[in-house]
Amino acid sequence: KNKLERRYIPVATPRYNGLVERVHGIDEREFYSRLNKNITAELLREKLKEYTLFYNNQRLISSLLYITIKERIKNIIASKSTISMAP
């Protein structure tokens, strides 16, 4: 919809590992550790979809100065359209 580009970290680049591990830790604390260990695959998919929607649209991110990911993307898109409209 907004044509966001997905970027992958380069293979064997330790400087990015901290970022990836931090996100994995957040997912473990806020999602996986709260699941019933006998959850079905279907229910897991449903819960993961709910968590992803919450994480992207409602969870305040400290490194983004306590705005949501959705708000950050909106701000980036708005700033790009302002730049492209400049004479």
User: Could you tell me the residue ranges of all domains in the chain?
Assistant: 14-84
Instruction: Write out pLDDT tens, residues 15-66.
Output: 888 888 888 999 999 999 999 999 999 999 999 999 999 999 999 999 999 9
Per-residue pLDDT, 40: 96
pTM: 0.72
pLDDT at 15: 83
Cβ neighbors of 44 (< 8 A, separation 6 or more) are 35
